[in-house]
């Protein structure tokens, strides 16, 4: 990195912290700290929702995903717009009418205190640990690529934002997220432009799309079927996106306090709803653009030499290990293969531009074979790397930043590194604010008595600080988790999200099920989910089938509803409060 990169990086990060502190000035009480006095307009709510969802890994992982697997990942978001409408009709007016601070506060009004406590506890556990991993995941990528010390990268990634999050609460979070998201999107647009600009002479945007399309990377719509019918193991297709994505978005935006806390900051229902609805409309085009950058990077590496691994630290480790001779030989074969591929890619573009359609098919077939050979060499390298260290050998998340490091000019490189921090800060700040809100509202306030709002406001700041330090602490130990960190976050979420969604589904839609039945159903199903996931390690339940973690969401949600109904019908007695909330707030 040059001095210009360091200046751009430092100026951007310090600027955001100062801006966050400046916006903190007017926050003086608990409602201001956690809900920004319910004063924000829809466009700030929108940017805050988007900034919370889009973490650093979103901007690092999505282009890498498009590079390796094409654009079909976009289908994952197809259920999101419909989920936004359902949340606007059902969740938003009830949360706002009851003037709750946290989503789980509603559960006490609908059920009882123990159901609220259990749900809030599950949220704190899941969100606290996953935020720690969200700090570590981008830090380890930056640390590996630029040789930074992981301890200090974690501290800066998770630490600087604590200054304005502690000081200004939800308002500082929302205003900084607005600036962060604008900078991030502008930088991504610049990066996309630069990828095309850096293509060899005579290769333009259309040529780049053409070659990537022919090589299967513009597979935006996939039906999920093969010769034997619908493939249930296919993770990203149109139907899993619409149906699975709908439930996932309903769960995340409707029951996760880090998102609920964003739209509760709106002036009224209309502003909350507009923020959510517009988010539903812009999310897919935005994700399309981010994935497109990844496809362009793929095209770029058809004409230029791609490294055998985008994680340069793995290459350095391998070349200084006992396997160095076999690695060097592998590298030589890989480079020779790449040279042939580059020549054919140029020939393909020349044929395309000169209207020689007849030779295109033959050239594409040859490039495909060379790409497959490249992937085989890359796999061989990963196998060697996994013998050398316990580092993650999957380099998907390193692809985009690897390109940035290698090819972008000074200044822009610093800006692109800055957006990794900004994107991380946006989601981490919202998480810390929501963790502190749940700790204060769902636990502290109910246990302690006789305190004035002012002291609660100050204690909330300490809770934010404590959660920030806890998350950094988790980040410092996250390397013990092993290889795929993204999967670790998803697995962690899937262990709890389904049960939390199930509780809310009963609360909103199954009015005859009461608090006791819901509480015990949630506990039973949560234990079952944990047993199902860890079945290999527990001899007594080893007969349970191995199920992909993504299915745990659906099993958890539907399981709580089903067990809740059975318990209610068998033992159930409901108290009047549970009925009255819907009579009082019939919507």
Binding positions for other proteins, rule: CB under 8 A: 38, 74, 78, 81-82, 84-85, 88-89, 93, 96-97, 99, 209-210, 212-214, 216, 218-221, 238, 242, 267-270, 273-274, 277, 280-281, 284, 288, 587
Q: Which is nearer to other proteins, 73 or 123 (CB)?
A: 73
Q: What are the backbone dihedrals phi and psi of residue 266, each rounded to the nearest 5 degrees, phi first?
A: -75, 155
Q: By C-beta, is 78 or 123 nearer to other proteins?
A: 78
User: Under DSSP, is residue 414 helix (H, G, I), strand (E, B) or coil?
Assistant: helix
**What is the smallest separation between the CB atom of 193 and other proteins, expressed in angstroms?**
20
Identify the H or E element spanning 226: strand 225-226
The closest alpha carbon to 317, from 385, 237, 268, 263, belongs to: 385
Question: CB-based contacts of 327: which residues, under 8 Å, 6+ apart?
Answer: 318, 319, 321, 381, 384
The distance of closest approach from Cβ of residue 572 to other proteins in the complex, given in angstroms and rounded to an integer, is 30
Report whether 57 contacts 200 (CB < 8 A).
no
Helix (H) or strand (E) holding 225: strand 225-226
- Nearest approach, Cβ of residue 361 and other proteins (Å): 12
Rounded Cα distance between 22 and 110, Å, is: 39
Give the separation between CA 511 and CA 535, rounded to whole angstroms: 34
CB nearer to other proteins: pick between 284 and 554: 284
If the CB atoms of residues 77 and 467 are measured against other proteins, the closer one turns out to be: 77
CA-nearest of 525, 397, 309, 404 to 133 is 397
CB nearer to other proteins: give 38 or 235.
38
Least Å distance between CB 267 and other proteins? 6
What DSSP character marks residue 537?
A: G
CB of 31 to other proteins, least distance (A): 12
The least distance separating other proteins from the CB of residue 577, rounded to whole angstroms, comes to: 21
Q: Are 235 and 88 in contact (CB under 8 A)?
A: no
How far does Cα 16 stand from its chain's mean position? 22
Q: How far is the CB of 277 from other proteins (least distance, A)?
A: 7
d(CA 288, CA 484): 24
Q: Cβ closer to other proteins: 109 or 273?
A: 273
The least distance separating other proteins from the CB of residue 465, rounded to whole angstroms, comes to: 30
Minimal distance, residue 285 CB to other proteins, in Å: 8
Q: Nearer Cβ to other proteins, position 19 or 239?
A: 239
CA-to-CA distance for 208 and 58, rounded, in angstroms?
Answer: 23
Of the candidates 263, 281, 279, the residue with the CA atom closest to the CA atom of residue 271:
263
**Are the C-beta atoms of 265 and 184 separated by less than 8 Å?**
no
Give 445's contacts (C-beta < 8 A, 6+ positions apart): 456
Measured from the CB atom, the residue of 246 and 533 that comes closer to other proteins is: 246
CB of 281 to other proteins, least distance (A): 7
Shortest Å, Cβ 586 to other proteins: 10
Provide the token pair at 390. 């316990």
**Cβ contact 269:42 at 8 Å:** no
Nearer to other proteins, 245 or 564 (CB): 245
Between residues 70 and 426, which has the closer beta carbon with respect to other proteins? 70
The residue with tokens 């957006």 is 419
Closer to other proteins by CB, 3 or 587: give it: 587
- Cβ of 229: how many Cβ atoms within 10 Å? 8
- Least distance (Å) between residue 587 CB and other proteins: 6
Residue nearer to other proteins on the CB measure, 212 or 476: 212
**Residue number, 95 or 504, with CB nearest to other proteins:** 95
Choice between 38 and 333, CB closer to other proteins: 38
Ramachandran class of 416: left when φ > 0, alpha when ψ lies in -120 to 50, beta otherwise = alpha
Q: How far is the CB of 88 from other proteins (least distance, A)?
A: 8
CB count within 10 Å of CB 537 equals 9
Residue 550 contacts residue 494 (beta carbons within 8 Å): yes
Work out how close the CB of 237 gets to other proteins at its nearest, in angstroms, rounded to a whole number: 12
Tell me how far CA of residue 189 lies from CA of 56, 292, 294, 584, in angstroms. Answer: 16, 10, 12, 49
In angstroms, the CA 532 to CA 391 distance is: 28
CB 520 within 8 A of CB 567: yes
Q: Which helix (DSSP H) or strand (DSSP E) does residue 294 occupy? A: helix 269-303
Q: Is 33 helix (H, G, I), strand (E, B) or coil?
A: helix
Structure-block tokens of residue 351:
């044929």
């Amino acid at each position: 990195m040059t001095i210009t990169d360091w200046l751009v990086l430092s100026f951007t990060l310090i600027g955001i912290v100062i801006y966050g502190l400046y916006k903190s000035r007017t926050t003086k009480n608990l409602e201001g700290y956690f809900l920004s006095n319910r004063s924000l307009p829809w466009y700030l709510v929108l940017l805050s929702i988007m900034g919370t969802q889009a973490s650093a890994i979103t901007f690092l992982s999505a282009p890498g995903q498009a590079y390796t697997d094409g654009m079909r990942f976009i289908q994952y978001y197809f259920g999101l717009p419909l989920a936004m409408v359902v949340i606007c009709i059902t969740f938003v007016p009830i949360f706002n009418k009851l003037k709750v601070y946290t989503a789980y506060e509603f559960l006490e009004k609908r059920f009882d205190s123990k159901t609220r406590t259990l749900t809030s506890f599950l949220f704190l556990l899941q969100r606290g640990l996953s935020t720690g991993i969200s700090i570590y995941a981008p830090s380890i990528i930056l640390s590996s690529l630029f040789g930074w010390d992981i301890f200090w990268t974690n501290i800066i990634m998770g630490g600087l934002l604590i200054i304005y999050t502690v000081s200004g609460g939800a308002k500082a979070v929302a205003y900084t997220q607005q600036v962060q998201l604008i900078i991030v999107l502008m930088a991504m647009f610049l990066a996309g432009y630069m990828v095309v600009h850096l293509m060899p002479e005579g290769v333009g945007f259309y040529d780049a799309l053409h070659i990537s399309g022919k090589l299967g990377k513009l597979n935006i719509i996939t039906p999920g079927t093969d010769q034997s019918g619908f493939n249930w193991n296919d993770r990203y297709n149109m139907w899993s996106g619409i149906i699975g994505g709908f439930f996932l978005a309903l769960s995340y935006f409707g029951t996760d306090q880090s998102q609920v806390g964003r739209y509760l900051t709106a002036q009224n229902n209309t502003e909350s709803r507009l923020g959510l609805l517009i988010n539903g409309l812009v999310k897919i085009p935005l994700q399309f653009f981010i994935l497109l950058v990844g496809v362009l990077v793929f095209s770029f590496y058809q004409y230029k030499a791609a490294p055998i691994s985008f994680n340069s630290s793995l290459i350095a480790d391998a070349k200084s290990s006992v396997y160095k001779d076999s690695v060097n030989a592998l590298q030589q074969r890989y480079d020779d293969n790449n040279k042939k591929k580059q020549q054919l890619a140029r020939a393909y573009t020349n044929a395309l531009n000169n209207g020689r359609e007849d030779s295109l098919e033959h050239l594409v077939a040859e490039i495909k074979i060379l790409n497959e050979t490249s992937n085989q060499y890359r796999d061989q390298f990963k196998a060697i790397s996994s013998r050398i260290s316990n580092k993650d050998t999957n380099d998907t998340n390193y692809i985009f930043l690897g390109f940035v490091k290698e090819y972008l000019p000074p200044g822009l490189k610093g800006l692109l590194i800055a957006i990794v921090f900004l994107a991380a800060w946006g989601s981490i700040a919202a998480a810390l604010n929501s963790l502190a809100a749940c700790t204060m509202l769902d636990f502290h306030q109910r246990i302690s008595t006789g305190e004035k709002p002012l002291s609660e406001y100050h204690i909330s700041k300490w809770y934010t600080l404590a959660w920030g330090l806890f998350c950094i602490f988790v980040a410092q130990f996250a390397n013990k988790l092993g290889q795929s960190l993204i999967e670790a976050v998803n697995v962690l979420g899937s262990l709890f999200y389904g049960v939390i969604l199930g509780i809310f589904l009963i609360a909103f839609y199954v009015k005859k099920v009461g608090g006791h039945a819901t509480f015990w159903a949630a506990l039973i199903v949560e234990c079952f989910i944990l047993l199902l996931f860890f079945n290999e390690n527990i001899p007594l339940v080893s007969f349970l089938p191995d199920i992909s973690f993504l299915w745990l969401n659906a099993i958890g949600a539907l399981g709580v509803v089903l067990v809740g109904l059975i318990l209610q019908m068998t033992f159930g007695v409901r108290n009047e409060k549970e009925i009255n909330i819907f009579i009082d707030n019939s919507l």
